Amino acid sequence: TPERMVRRMATVEPTFATLKRLLNKGRLTCWGLASAASEYSLGVLCYNLMRVINILGVKGALARLC
């Protein structure tokens, strides 16, 4: 339905667009499934850390980590 597509575009698409930008436009730099999974996991970790820093700030994120 159109309403669900609009909701999906607003919630999911920006996340995947950012991941695609972080991961060199979706091209992985390694060969093999295990290596590709590791590279994608690092990209997701980087995205999540960016979100934490944007929400809490650097000092807040460091305070929560320690």
Question: In the structure encoding, which two tokens stand for residue 34, read together?
Answer: 């295990």
Q: What per-residue confidence (pLDDT) applies to 30?
A: 83
How many angstroms separate the CA atoms of 3 and 48, rounded? 27
Q: Where are the domains of the chain?
A: 2-63
Q: What per-residue confidence (pLDDT) applies to 56?
A: 94
Which tens digit of pLDDT belongs to each residue from 10-65?
888 888 888 888 777 777 788 899 998 998 888 889 889 999 999 999 999 999 98
